[in-house]
Structures are given as C-alpha cells and as structure tokens.
Amino acid sequence: MNSTETGHRAALAGKISTVLGTIAPASSGPTLMHEHLLIDARHLESRPDDPEAQAIYKAPYEPTLLGRLVFDGMSNRDNTVMDDIGSAVAEIAHFKKHGGSILDEVTSGGIGRDPKGLAEISRQSGVHVVMGASYYVEAAHPAEVAALDEGQLADKIATDVLVGADGTGIKAGIIGEVGCSWPLSQAEIKVLRASAQAQKRTGASLSIHPGRSEAAPFEICEVLAKAGADLTRTVMCHTERTIFDREKLSALARAGIVIEYDMFGHEFSYYWPAPHISAPNDGGRMDAIGYLVEQGFENQIVLSHDNDVKMWLSQFGGPGYGHILRNIVPRLIKRGIPEAMVQKFLVETPRRLLTIQA
C-alpha cells in the first residue's frame, strides 16, 4: 500500500462507505447484504432454437410469464435486465417503509454495475446503497480480466473502494460479489486472489458467489486463506443452494466465514440454474438458521433476497425487497429466535462487515 492509498483508507476507516459518501456505523439499521438494483445478465443466456420458446424469449416481461420463469428465469431476455432507475426507487420504497436502512448492492464487473445509477437511486429513495467491486463468474468477465495480471486487478479493485469506480468518484463499500464456478477456473482463481489482496489494502469485506457444489465454499476458502484474506470478514453467499449437509455447514462456520441466506422469497424447490439441486423454501432457510444458532454461530449469519431478475420484484408479482422485514422477521421470532438475535442478522453483523477497517 502506497502513501496515497494509506491516506484514502484512513479517511474511510471506521465508517460505512455508500454511493453518496460515508455514514457512521452507529446510524445503520436493518441491512440486506445481497441485492441487485441495476443488473444486466443477458450475455449469460443461451438463445433458444424452438420457435415458441423464441417468442417467449423475445417478449417483454409480464407477470403472466411467472409460472414459466420459476422453472427457467433466463428463458425471457427482458427478465434478466433491471435498468430502470424509477422502478428501482419504487421497489426499495417497500424496504424503507418497513424500517430498512442499507441495501448492499453487489452487482460486480461483467453484469452491468452502474455507479451513477446507484447513486441516483439512493438519492431519490433515501435508502443507503453500498456498491460492490471485483468481478462475476468467468463467463461474464470483461476483457480486462484476461488482460491484467493479479496485481493489476488488485489495483483496480482497491481503486474502486478507495478512490471511486470507473472514474466517477463513487466508491465501492464491499468487494463482491466475486463470482466463482465449479470447479474454479484459473481466471476465477486470479480474481479471488486479487480480491483478497484488495481486501488487505482497503479494509473492505469480501462477498463470494460460490460454485454450485458443497465442495465449492471450502475450495474458495483455501484459495482466499493462502492469499491472506480475512475469512471472518468474508461472506459466503447463496448458502441455501450450496450446502445441505449440516456438518459441512458447521465446518464452514467454524472457519470463521459469515453464512448468508439470501434467497428469501424464492418459495419453490426447482433451482433452474442447476436442476440437480432441490432448493429449500423460506421455512427450510429458517430451519438452517435455527441450526446455526443452536451451534453458537448467531454472529455469523446475514440475510437477503438476491433480487436479480424482474420476476422477484413486487411490481411484477414477486416478493420484492420488503419481504424479509415484513414477513420473515416475525416468523423467526415466532420460531423462538429472540428479537435481539434477529437484530444481529440484520443490523449488528452487517454493520461489522460494512465498516471499513483501519
């Protein structure tokens, strides 16, 4: 870290860095740790050959498609693009209405991150937005990932956090979601290692999208640990679709990792990105959280919805960004989890993770 980086980090240390500037951690309230407000995943799709499927693929999204899209969310091109600032402002109003404070927007390089758009959404909505850095899975990597070496990638990620992204001066406040496939590709290993370097240089936390295998989080932890990452400030996303064995879940928590259940509102078992996986519903997610609490890991749990396509938004028939605060918090309490512990999931642990370390 050079003297310029040291000065930038000192200015951010002890604060939460949002797209509109820093805020005091003590002022933060309920936080969603894994959401998307603006995202474009069209280039990850495969265009269908069947004429009927092509017609659905090309059609504007509408709620009448929901029954089909829960079995393949990528089968409608328009579903995979969220690029309307006014729509995003209206959607997160539901989160704010129920007491929401911070939305951690982890759209990373390759899937349409928009710093200026996020700043405008935050300005209009009054909701604090924390922006992500780094890169999504290799299939979405922009050309710069191949062109730059590990150190140069680390420089770019660190600049996003300390100086601002893409020349805007709008700073990222978390490194992620860092996209990983299964098995990890060499390009993804390079990005993981660069992200770990950037974590050390910036004091920001890591947010990891693991590949779809129970072995994936452990492989990722090994790469990160060797690169010097702080696993206690690393969030493993999408745990409900990744780890099903309780002992493996405990082993991941024992490594210090923060466990994220971020598909709340996805009330179906068919997981179309990986059909061999049977995903839990909200009840199953709460069962797993209850298990982690029983094992003493209540300080390593965070929650979210991962709203990344139109079908999850309330205006299009989905649960929206207010679902956890409106529906899940009361259910957790009725299940016997103390309200103070739920506050850990939604306020205290996110506050720790989003505060830039000195």
- Establish if 270 belongs to a structural domain: yes
Asked if residue 16 is part of any domain, the answer here is no
Instruction: Judge whether 342 and 332 are in contact, CB under 8 Å.
Output: yes
Q: Is residue 22 part of a domain?
A: no
Write down the pLDDT at residue 43: 82
The reply to whether 3 falls in a domain is no
Q: Which of 199, 84, 60, 203 is nearest to 134 (CA)?
A: 199
User: Quick check: is 4 in a domain?
Assistant: no
Mean pLDDT, rounded, for 112-117:
98
pTM: 0.97
- pLDDT one-digit tens code per residue, 86-104: 999 999 999 999 999 999 9
Q: How far apart are CA 33 and CA 169, in angstroms?
A: 23
Q: What is the mean pLDDT of residues 66-79?
A: 92
CB 82 within 8 Å of CB 36: yes
Q: Which residue has the tokens 């409900």?
A: 240
Domain membership of residue 13 (yes or no) is: no
pLDDT of residue 205: 99
d(CA 230, CA 256): 9
Task: Tell me the pLDDT tens digit for each residue of 2-61.
Answer: 778 899 999 999 999 999 999 999 999 999 999 999 999 998 877 888 898 999 999 999
Which residue has 């240390």 as its token pair?
13
pLDDT of residue 249: 98
Q: Average pLDDT for residues 75-89, to the nearest whole number?
A: 97
Domain that holds residue 107: 30-354
CA pair distance 189, 229, nearest whole angstrom: 13
> For residue range 229-257, what is the model confidence (pLDDT) as tens digits?
999 999 999 999 999 999 999 999 999 99
Name the pLDDT band for 1 (thresholds 50, 70, 90). Answer: low
Rounded to whole angstroms, the Cα distance separating 68 from 75 reads: 8
Question: What's the CATH number where 77 sits?
Answer: 3.20.20.140
Task: Please classify residue 5 by burial: count the beta carbons closer than 10 Å to its beta carbon, then call 0-12 exposed, 13-18 middle and 19+ buried.
Answer: middle
Q: What was the pLDDT predicted at 46?
A: 74
Domain contains 1 = no
Question: Would you say residue 312 lies in a domain?
Answer: yes
In the prediction, which pLDDT does 272 show?
86
Q: How many domains does the chain have?
A: 1
The answer to whether 194 and 145 are in contact (CB under 8 A) is no
The residue to which tokens 């509408």 are assigned: 62
pLDDT in tens, 131-190: 999 999 999 999 999 999 999 999 999 999 999 999 999 999 999 999 999 999 999 999
Count of other CB atoms within 10 angstroms of residue 340: 9
Which residue bears the tokens 């509102």?
265
